Structure 1
Amino acid sequence: MLINNYEQLEAFGLNLLFAGIFFLIGMSIKDVLKQGKVPPFGRFIVWLVLFLGCAGFIAKGLIQLFWEGSGLS
């Protein structure tokens, strides 16, 4: 395999790892909120913060993809 294939495989694996980590964080937060009997407004704030973190990570990936595609980096 060429070095480019290794880099693509590494990038894909890293993105998959981050997706798995976000999933596990979400599952643990769901469990803590359920056991702690958090009111609905508090749950909304917690999920909003978690979503914004994921959205920032996805936005970073898309910006990086567009910059690499246009030759800026």
Structure 2
Amino acid sequence: MISQYINEFETLGFYFALACIFFLIGMAIQDVLKKGDVPKFGRYIVWLVLFLGCSGFIAKGVIQVFWQGAGVG
């Protein structure tokens, strides 16, 4: 029974691991910004870049799922 769902387990584990990595990166950036006494404008730019990177990765995954579902890729 588990062998039937091993692909789904691997996919969920992969996405959970990526979410953990993004969280840890965010915590590390927050720590560096606090210790470096960065002005507010610089903090906003850093968080904007981090958000755009994460959203781009998520968009890539969503596009890939739709393309594979349509038989394109």
Q: TM-score, normalised by structure 2?
A: 0.89
Aligned partner of 1:11 in structure 2 is 11
Q: Which runs of 5+ in 2 are unaligned?
A: none
| Aligned 1:49-64 pairs, distance under 5 A | 49-64=49-64
Q: Which runs of 5+ in 1 are unaligned?
A: none
**What amino acid maps onto 1:70 in structure 2?**
A
Give the secondary structure class of the aligned counterpart of 2:37. Answer: coil
Higher relative contact order (CA closer than 8 Å, sequence separation 6+): 1
Deviation at 1:45, TM superposition (A): 0.9
Q: In structure 1, how many angstroms separate the alpha carbons of the residues matched to 2:63 and 2:52?
A: 16
| Aligned 1:1-73 pairs, distance under 5 A | 1=1, 5-73=5-73
Among the aligned pairs, what percent are the same residue? 60
Structure 1 residue ranges, 4+ long, deviating more than 2 angstroms after superposition: 1-4
Q: CA offsets per residue over residues 20-65 of structure 1, 9 Å max, x none? A: 0000000111111011110011101110110011001100110011
Q: In structure 2, how many angstroms separate the alpha carbons of the residues matched to 1:52 and 1:60?
A: 12
Q: In structure 2, how many angstroms separate the alpha carbons of the residues matched to 1:48 and 1:27?
A: 15
Q: TM-score, normalised by structure 1?
A: 0.89
Give the secondary structure class of the aligned counterpart of 2:24. Answer: helix
Deviation at 1:5, TM superposition (A): 1.7
